[in-house]
Structure 1
Amino acid sequence: MPANDPQPPQTVDEIARSLYRTAYPEKTDDSGWVEEQVSVAVERISRAEQADPSTSPGARPLDDAVINRAAPKSRRGPRIAAAVVSAVVVLVALVLGIAERQWVAETAISGDGILGLSIAAVVAALATSVSYVRVRRRQILSCRVRIDAPFGVDIGETVRLEGEHAAVTDPGVVVVRVKNTGGSTITAEDYVSPLALHFPGRQVISVDATEFEPVELHRVISKLPGFTIEEDRVQLPKVLLEREASYKLVIVLSGTTPGEKHQIAVEGVLRDGRITTREGKEKVGPGTLAWGGLTAICAGALAVVLLLNNVAPFTKLPRGVACEAGSLSVEGSSAFGRAATELAGSYEAYCPGAAVKVGTPGSVEGLQRLHDGTIDLALSDGKFDEPDFTRFVPQKLAIVPFTLVASKNVPVDSLSVADVRKIFTGGARVWSDITGNLRDTGVIRVAGRSTSSGTRRTLENYLLGTPSAPIGQAPATSDSCRDLRPDLAASSPIICEQGSTGDLIDRIATLGDAIGYADVSDVAQSSAVKKISLDGRDATLDDIRGGYPFWTVEDVFSRGPLESGSLAAAFRDYLLTPEARNAMAGFQYYACAAGEQDLCDRR
């Protein structure tokens, strides 16, 4: 056909029929013979399309004859350099890992090692995803030559086609499949240079497009400028191809001599993709495989490290602590409750077969339940001299500092011990009784603990009185901490009792002019209250050594000597480990280690 005069698409049998009638004009009237030859030609082309090009005597393998000049130049130099560098890094890492295996192992199972492996696994996984998506979205235009064969019936037969204007000597046919095998649409703007086929030593006679997928592609191509034929080269229009869209080209050439080796060159450049002479899809690129392998290595290493850190029998236990299975109940001090809960959780993490339940009814109630046999261990803020508790076996754990705590609007930041006695024994009703300022008319609302509290016992022993002559906190006069009970005189002080440290702090935070007492750690959790110092001292270890009086020693009690190999003995021993001491330090408790033994002997 003329170069710029596109014709309607023709099927293979129509082209073959036209060629045979032109080549053998004397057979034009013998339709049976023509149809027989057409049938044979169509069958050969069909078989060749199914990867069997040798069905035609003049056909030849195409793999070595098709040149993909559109392919990007191979960067073998940088790739080889990158491979060498990677191999050196892996080798060095392997040598160091073997030589310093102990350090590597210790680092891997540390917190920093786990964090590092987690970050590496996440980064590698993200890189794998990005690489995979980039490959899937890459523009790939496949231009695959399926058939390159001369028109010939028998080997050695010369065929000459008589065209409309000139004879076609040594005619041949090339069938090409053009397909978008990438992950995104290819538009006309994506072609830096259009797709073209070059046939050195041959001349292009005609080109037709056929077998459109989807069929609507025929309409798109028919509206574009036609195929440009330049002697031995045919340039294709810049066709918009959706994903998986394709069409076939049937190209008739002269100069296809049977038995000779002819080359076909595929030319063209895509802006953000590439043109290939193969049909296969790139679902996973080498970069994706590399990052995926690194992800698997990091994830596997992380799994092993977590296994070694958290699963028995691989658990790295603190020195001197053994895992024992079973259930254990520990109850008592509400002041020590948060620390006890965290310590129980840590032991369960080390020893998954153990279940340690912590309750915080108060020190006295915990000791009473231990006496009744309903729990295994009791936590108490100091010792109690009740006859029922004298046979208990104590183990000193830590120094627990307490502080006075008040509402934000309370007009003082520090109190003397004498002022504290006046407030908590009911000798002061309004804040002016403490400050001496008549404008401080707020009614003092005292929030104290119940009689079962070890914290209250510490207040009575070391602030209001002494261990040998304790002075009791004034009895409760209010249930709400806001108003007096109806049967009391209006001049009575407002004093209420709370069952736990948390309840006391919450009550003070919601009232005005209120004051109470609690352990330092729990007070630090609330921004709605403030600490009140004693005679200018705070509840720090230095001030405790300097005379700060409001503190006690936390003990864990058992009914008698603990049986070796029991869960109670194992958990009690765990409370004395460096790990447990560090956990208690986080709650501002000072463990009864060697340096604090003198303080821990206080009774």
Structure 2
Amino acid sequence: MQWFSAENIVAVGTAVLGIVASGAMVWYERRVPRRKRVGYRVQMDNPIGDDVRSGRANRRLGLFDETPGMADATLVLLRIENDGSQGIDGGDYTGPEPHGLTAVFTDRTIRGVSVTQPTDADHLMDHFTAERGFGYEGNRLRIPRVPLNRGDHFKLLVLLSGGDVGSGIRLTGGIREGEVHPNRSATPDEQPPLFSRAARLISITLTLSVLTLAGIVIARDDHPLPLGCARGTLTVTGSTAFAPVVRELAQEYGKKCAGADITVDAHGSEAGVGELTALRPRSRHAPALIAFSDGATPRADAARDLTGSRIAVSAFTLVVNEDVDLGRGLSLAQVRRIYDGRITRWRQLDPRLPDLPVVLVSRTADSGTRQIFQRRVLGTWERVPSTSLDCVHRDDRSAPVTRCELGSTQEVLDRVAAIPGAIGYSELNLALGHRGLRRVSLDGAAASGEDIEYRRSGYPYRGVEYAYTYGRPPTGSLTARFLAYVGQSTGEDVIRAHGHLPCSAPAVAPLCADDDNT
């Protein structure tokens, strides 16, 4: 292990910074309390009546032998202090009474009171007059609206009778934008705590957390990543037709490269590229996002920062419900007549076909599979508008045929298999083995990756799979390493296993390089 590596230096520096931050917080807590606050605490509550015995001589003290009703007399020292960050003036007391605060002595009667040890005797003593509300009645002591600078305090020595030592004592009243609160009891000479319990707990927790983090970083076993690996997170979106390939590639890469978290969220070629485009204005750096697209996207011309990498040649196919046996397939001219609404029933093509209505099961406009179909097979867009939400009930009776649009290739295959007379299109490998379907040859040529690779037929419905990123991903990033992995031998094997042709293969490279002629 390299003790002086950049990561360890950062970790130790973070620990030191955390300790300094903790000390700064302690200083701030001590020097800059939070708001206007009046605190109070009982510093003495002692019996002084004639029923109190001296523990050493076991004799009566007899302070009030001649005073009726004072046998259970007690003496209380109450400290009232400004322990907030701001000064308090007379207008800050919010009670409706002329006086500012009220001290209540539960179960006891006030017999006398004296003001003692104010911070500034001349400044504070002038306020303790009857004209300003100072006085007592029963168990309630009225305290004037005494202005207190930050840190000022005064003490009240109160003589009481009745009740027991330790009976409840509370201070009532309010402070604008502040509070009146009890403080921890203390002896007359005891200093208040340097900072609050919350500050102490936060300081200790922060220090321990940072030190623990630094220890983990330094002590961990740093094994170098295998060549070609990178850690981090990456999202792959876009083509639903190519999604099975990408999912397996992500799984294989994750097995090889620990710490790589790759999420595949496919919802259409154009939708995926649109998501990549929309992320850019909100990010100062290229987002960790790859959008796969069936064919080149027009967005690449509009967003100059998009970089497309050719990944594979994909074969697509038309599929029909198994009730429609087209034998040798369809010509391109027949396909175009079907998709512009001139063929409404299958028997119009051949009297031997079942007399079923044609149902067009299409993809949404965001689909790269649809865009390649329109460009390579129809030579135009699908002219029949969408007339149904469920592919069964035609909402627009004026349209010549029923046509619906679905969000994924798998949905298209499932609906075509379920609806008699339905026709749709799909990536070839996804259609293989799907029950309830027949694949359709075009101009006598069947969809075959091998025939496309070795130019054995002029099968038209094929296209190049692109991987789009923003600019060129940084060298060493997970995005760059994953794209490089796709073009390596393991990636090629996965692509071929799903019926696609990897652009990294020498025989396929010319097809990928000249996308317009694929």
Specify the code of the residue in structure 1 equivalent to 2:476. G
2:234 to 328, 332, 338: 328
For residue 519 of structure 1, report the CA deviation from its aligned partner: 0.5
- Give the aligned partner of residue 139 of structure 1: none
- Give the aligned partner of residue 479 of structure 1: 389
1:444 to 345, 354, 358: 358
Specify the code of the residue in structure 1 equivalent to 2:515. R
1:424 to 322, 329, 339: 339
- Give the aligned partner of residue 377 of structure 1: 290
Specify the code of the residue in structure 1 equivalent to 2:291. A
2:488 to 559, 577, 584: 577
For residue 542 of structure 1, report the CA deviation from its aligned partner: 4.7
Name the SS for the 1:335 alignment partner.
coil
Identity %, equivalent residues = 31
Alignment of 1:258-269 (within 5 A): none
Specify the code of the residue in structure 2 equivalent to 1:474. V
Task: Map Cα deviations across residues 310-358 of structure 1 (whole Å, 9 max, x no partner).
Answer: xx9598x6xxx51111110110000001111110111111112100001
Q: Does 1:412 align with 2:326?
A: yes
**Aligned 8 A contact 2:324 2:354 in 1:** no
For residue 476 of structure 1, report the CA deviation from its aligned partner: 0.9
Looking at structure 2, the residues matched to 313 and 449 of structure 1 have their Cα atoms a distance apart, in angstroms, of 47
Name the SS for the 1:573 alignment partner.
helix
**Aligned 8 A contact 2:449 2:499 in 1:** no
Q: Does 1:595 align with 2:507?
A: yes
Structure whose CA Rg is larger: 1
For residue 543 of structure 1, report the CA deviation from its aligned partner: 3.7
Name the SS for the 2:463 alignment partner.
strand
For residue 563 of structure 1, report the CA deviation from its aligned partner: 0.4
Looking at structure 1, the residues matched to 444 and 386 of structure 2 have their Cα atoms a distance apart, in angstroms, of 29
**Aligned 8 A contact 1:347 1:571 in 2:** yes
**Aligned 8 A contact 2:249 2:486 in 1:** yes
Q: Does 1:500 align with 2:408?
A: yes
Specify the code of the residue in structure 1 equivalent to 2:418. T
Name the SS for the 1:480 alignment partner.
coil
Looking at structure 1, the residues matched to 384 and 251 of structure 2 have their Cα atoms a distance apart, in angstroms, of 38
Q: Does 1:453 align with 2:361?
A: no
Q: Does 1:488 align with 2:397?
A: yes
For residue 415 of structure 1, report the CA deviation from its aligned partner: 0.7
What is the TM-score normalised by the length of structure 2?
A: 0.52
**Aligned 8 A contact 2:449 2:500 in 1:** no
What is the TM-score normalised by the length of structure 1?
A: 0.45
Looking at structure 2, the residues matched to 341 and 541 of structure 1 have their Cα atoms a distance apart, in angstroms, of 21
Alignment of 1:140-539 (within 5 A): 322-373=228-279, 376-386=289-299, 387-413=301-327, 414-437=329-352, 440-465=354-379, 470-485=380-395, 487-489=396-398, 492-539=400-447
**Aligned 8 A contact 1:402 1:517 in 2:** yes
Name the SS for the 1:377 alignment partner.
strand
Task: Map Cα deviations across residues 511-561 of structure 1 (whole Å, 9 max, x no partner).
Answer: 111110000111014122121111221111354322100010001111101
Task: Map Cα deviations across residues 547-594 of structure 1 (whole Å, 9 max, x no partner).
Answer: 100010001111101101111111111111110010111110011122
Task: Map Cα deviations across residues 486-509 of structure 1 (whole Å, 9 max, x no partner).
Answer: x422x6211111100011111111
For residue 368 of structure 1, report the CA deviation from its aligned partner: 0.5
For residue 440 of structure 1, report the CA deviation from its aligned partner: 2.9
Aligned length: 282
**Aligned 8 A contact 2:239 2:266 in 1:** yes
Looking at structure 2, the residues matched to 338 and 581 of structure 1 have their Cα atoms a distance apart, in angstroms, of 14
Looking at structure 2, the residues matched to 507 and 402 of structure 1 have their Cα atoms a distance apart, in angstroms, of 17
Looking at structure 1, the residues matched to 419 and 445 of structure 2 have their Cα atoms a distance apart, in angstroms, of 25
Looking at structure 2, the residues matched to 586 and 473 of structure 1 have their Cα atoms a distance apart, in angstroms, of 35
Looking at structure 2, the residues matched to 543 and 446 of structure 1 have their Cα atoms a distance apart, in angstroms, of 28
Specify the code of the residue in structure 1 equivalent to 2:232. G
Looking at structure 2, the residues matched to 525 and 328 of structure 1 have their Cα atoms a distance apart, in angstroms, of 32
Looking at structure 2, the residues matched to 574 and 410 of structure 1 have their Cα atoms a distance apart, in angstroms, of 42
For residue 409 of structure 1, report the CA deviation from its aligned partner: 0.3
Looking at structure 2, the residues matched to 432 and 334 of structure 1 have their Cα atoms a distance apart, in angstroms, of 33
Name the SS for the 2:387 alignment partner.
coil
**Aligned 8 A contact 2:321 2:417 in 1:** yes
Looking at structure 2, the residues matched to 406 and 504 of structure 1 have their Cα atoms a distance apart, in angstroms, of 11
Name the SS for the 2:473 alignment partner.
coil
- Give the aligned partner of residue 550 of structure 1: 461
- Give the aligned partner of residue 137 of structure 1: none
**Aligned 8 A contact 1:367 1:389 in 2:** no
Name the SS for the 2:277 alignment partner.
helix
Looking at structure 2, the residues matched to 314 and 533 of structure 1 have their Cα atoms a distance apart, in angstroms, of 52
Q: 1:473 to 1:338 in 2, by over 3 A?
A: farther
Looking at structure 1, the residues matched to 498 and 253 of structure 2 have their Cα atoms a distance apart, in angstroms, of 17
Name the SS for the 1:582 alignment partner.
helix
- Give the aligned partner of residue 541 of structure 1: 449
**Aligned 8 A contact 1:394 1:558 in 2:** yes
For residue 411 of structure 1, report the CA deviation from its aligned partner: 3.1
Looking at structure 2, the residues matched to 376 and 542 of structure 1 have their Cα atoms a distance apart, in angstroms, of 31
* More helix per residue: 1
**Aligned 8 A contact 1:537 1:543 in 2:** no
Q: 1:598 to 1:326 in 2, by over 3 A?
A: same
Looking at structure 2, the residues matched to 432 and 457 of structure 1 have their Cα atoms a distance apart, in angstroms, of 28
Task: Map Cα deviations across residues 134-186 of structure 1 (whole Å, 9 max, x no partner).
Answer: xxxxxxxxxxxxxxxxxxxxxxxxxxxxxxxxxxxxxxxxxxxxxxxxxxxxx
Looking at structure 2, the residues matched to 313 and 586 of structure 1 have their Cα atoms a distance apart, in angstroms, of 33
Specify the code of the residue in structure 2 equivalent to 1:382. G
**Aligned 8 A contact 1:478 1:494 in 2:** yes
Question: Which residues of structure 2 form unaligned runs of 5+?
Answer: 1-221, 280-286
Name the SS for the 1:463 alignment partner.
helix
**Aligned 8 A contact 1:367 1:380 in 2:** yes
Looking at structure 2, the residues matched to 506 and 441 of structure 1 have their Cα atoms a distance apart, in angstroms, of 22
Looking at structure 2, the residues matched to 471 and 528 of structure 1 have their Cα atoms a distance apart, in angstroms, of 27
Name the SS for the 2:507 alignment partner.
helix
